A = this chain, B = another copy of it.
Amino acid sequence: MDRVVRIGAAQLGPVARRDDRHEVVQRMVSLLDHAAEDGCDLVVFPELALTTFFPRWAMDDQEEIDSFFEAEMPGPATQALFTAAKRHGIGFCLGFAELVTDSGGAHRHYNTALLVDAETNEVGRYRKVHLPGHDEPEPWRPFQHLEKRYFDVGPDGFQTWRAFGGVVGMAICNDRRWPETYRVLALRGAEVVLIGYNTPVHNPPAPEHDALSDFHNHLVMQAGAYQNGMWVVGVAKAGDEEGVPMIGGTAIIAPSGEIVSQASTLGDELVVSDCDLDACASYRTTTFDFERHRRPEHYEIITTQRGSTPPD
């Protein structure tokens, strides 16, 4: 049985603070139309695709903060995306800020990715585990990175779902730098991992890394793909957003670790590849046959402690 999924990685250029969600959704619908012409089965949008990357600002007013979140999905502004996708028969993965009200009326805030199938039925949602940045505003920074302030850590960890003829996992932005992300997903059978990101070129606490931002972005996703024998689709919100330049580098990466297609702009751009899920087996049944070669009895410290403990 043919298990080739044609995936469109739908990079977005910057979204300004004043941009209306309807305008952003129109840009996404254009990319979906494009993807339909190209015969895509699945389109992947970036992290927090509907708004500007708001954790760059220190805000105290919870109502102002919540204005960047979606209390329903689809909602009034996003319905058009679901309608277009259903018309085209294309599934999609969408990153957005999710406001959840539990049965007791308490609010939870997640950095979320939603996956829907070609009928726009929900396949699953992933809530970001590795929140980067800080939780108290640091005035010395030219811009903030307050994800730890505005979001709760995803309580469900890394899950996988059967969809698009294979097994799909999701991760978000900073998750991609952590090898545990890919490994947990691969142990749960993922054959393709969908990852949206917003990555400023400049890292205020470590400006010495800035020149390496693009290199690091691809390095971690390529290693994650190869070491787990799976496809990785990395999708940027890119370009100069509110005066903060962000990397692009949207890429589709094969289980070999090779980038098979890549964005060449920092704007709205669709990158398409045929992803043969059967290509995973070449790695998973040989070099990375986990059952034959892994040695979990020697990995214990990975789960028993968080920080590093050098020898005496």
- Name A's B-contacting residues (CB within 8 A): 129-132, 153, 157-162, 167, 174, 177-180, 182-184, 186-189, 203, 205-206, 208-209, 212, 215-216, 219-220, 222-223, 226-227, 256-258, 282-288, 290-291, 293-312
Contact = CB atoms under 8 A, between A and B. Distances in A.
B132 A188 contact: no
B257 A310 contact: no
20 contacts: A129-B295, A158-B298, A159-B311, A160-B310, A160-B311, A162-B310, A177-B288, A178-B294, A179-B227, A180-B302, A183-B299, A183-B302, A184-B302, A188-B308, A209-B283, A291-B306, A294-B306, A296-B302, A299-B302, A302-B302
B287 A307 contact: no
B290 A296 contact: no
A179 B183 contact: yes
A174 B288 CA distance: 10
A284 B308 CA distance: 10
A306 B205 CA distance: 37
Contacts of A132: 287, 293
Nearest to A180: B299
A197 to B, nearest CB: 13
Contacts of A308: 186-189, 284, 290-291
A217 to B, nearest CB: 11
A131 B287 CA distance: 11
A311 B189 contact: yes
Contacts of A212: 256-258
Given A130-B293, A296-B306, A311-B167, A184 B227 contact: no
Contact of A290 (B159, B285, B290, B306): B306
A286 B174 CA distance: 12
A167 B308 CA distance: 12
A153 B38 CA distance: 50
A301 B189 CA distance: 12
Contact of A188 (B189, B299, B301): B301
Contacts of A180: 179, 183, 294-295, 298-299, 302
A220 B288 CA distance: 13
A189 B310 contact: yes
A288 B209 CA distance: 12
Contacts of A307: 187, 290-291, 294
Nearest to A221: B223
Contacts of A297: 157
Contact of A220 (B223, B296, B298, B311): B223
Contacts of A209: 256, 282-283, 286-287
A122 B294 CA distance: 29
